[in-house]
Amino acid sequence: DSCRTSAAMARTPASRKIGRVLALLALFWAGQQAVQTVRAAVGVRAVPFARPPAGAWARKPLIARGAASKADGQPDEVDDNEDDEVSKLAKEHDAVQSYDAKKVIRWVKESVRITDREEITKLKAQKYAGSFLLEKSSAADLEAKLKLSDGPKDILIERIKKLKAAAAIRDAKRKLDNAGADEDRIAMVGAMLSALVEMDAVDVMRSALEVPVVQSVLKAALDVSKDDVGSYGPKKVAAWIAAKLVSAQYDDSDIQQALRKLAGMNGNQVLTVTQDQLKENYKLEVAKAEFLVDAVQGLNDPSAWPKILKPSIIIEEGVGLEDAARGPCLCWFVRVC
């Protein structure tokens, strides 16, 4: 009895912990050997099926933030703040448009925050009025007009693009509120998106796509017929392409890039263009080219849209949670994406 008592006393909590650690290390070492065997057989990340196009599934949906908040029963503060930001920029646009050369200098120093004395002196010598800076011109035109160093020039051009883009969104919202037929509204949204692309207004494209009235128009564009698309000019085509990309959860930068590359396409061209032509002539990425061709096919056969994509299967290894009876176990996880 005394021997059993001594043995029991020897198994203190500390010794039991050390024993468990040693057991864990032994299991981990054995598991690593098994992992090496699996790696040799199938590779670390075996992907036997085609992956979905970039942005098709993992993207965050471009839904209006306010609408999402309301659906969750939460106040739409984010949407209000974002709308306020666009409104503020649009008001600033209107103010700058009326500025003479002296007020432009004050605006550049106080709002754009370019304060370098040498750069301000250069800008003063050019005597640009606000209306001249905000006239309808591309970023390349502004690049040629402004005689400033690269850094300050880029900052000023970005601010001008934001102001022009915000004004375009504001004006489009006003027109959409008073428009009647869906076709007219699709044309207005297409014109707005095309203008943002022309301005290279990356920062505000998402805001434009999240405007509730714009989203309602894009949803309507998803239901148009093949004959409708065939009759479209470039602006309506831009809205239709944007609607398809938004529905597939591509993000704003992907949408802007696609609209830039496909600018000027009319409906007949969209219906007849091939995947190879989209890649070679329009320099569209393979995934987007395939996606657009599938979207056109969906006009011919609605049952073919949306295309069902094969999932990608990725094998990953890792250590699972400790089992109460058997201790930790090495597991292989299969992730479907």
Q: What pLDDT digit, counting tens, does each position of 44-85 carry? A: 433 332 333 444 333 444 434 344 444 444 434 334 444 578
Instruction: Tell me the average pLDDT of the chain.
Output: 76
Identify the residue with better confidence: 180 or 112. Answer: 112
pLDDT at 119: 96
pLDDT at 199: 84
Q: Please report, for residues 217, 229, 255, the alpha-carbon distance to residue 224 in angstroms, rounded to integers and kept in the order given.
A: 11, 7, 20
Residue 140 pLDDT class (50, 70, 90 cuts): confident
Strand partners, 315: 334
The C-alpha atoms of residue 123 and residue 278 are separated, in whole angstroms, by 43
Cis peptide before 306 (omega within 30 of 0): yes
Closest CA to 245 of 259, 232, 234, 235: 259
- Three-state SS letters, 54-87: CCCCCCCCCCCHHHHHHHCCCCCHHHHHHHHHHH
Q: What's the pLDDT tens digit per position in 110-129? A: 999 999 999 999 999 999 99
- Let me know if 336 is exposed, middle or buried by CB neighbors in 10 A (0-12, 13-18, 19+): exposed
Residue 203 has pLDDT above 60, yes or no: yes
Domain boundaries, the chain: 24-50+310-337, 65-304
Q: Is the whole model's pTM more than 0.75, yes or no?
A: no
The C-alpha atoms of residue 282 and residue 262 are separated, in whole angstroms, by 7
Identify the residue with better confidence: 299 or 60. Answer: 299
The C-alpha atoms of residue 246 and residue 307 are separated, in whole angstroms, by 15
Residue 258 pLDDT class (50, 70, 90 cuts): very high
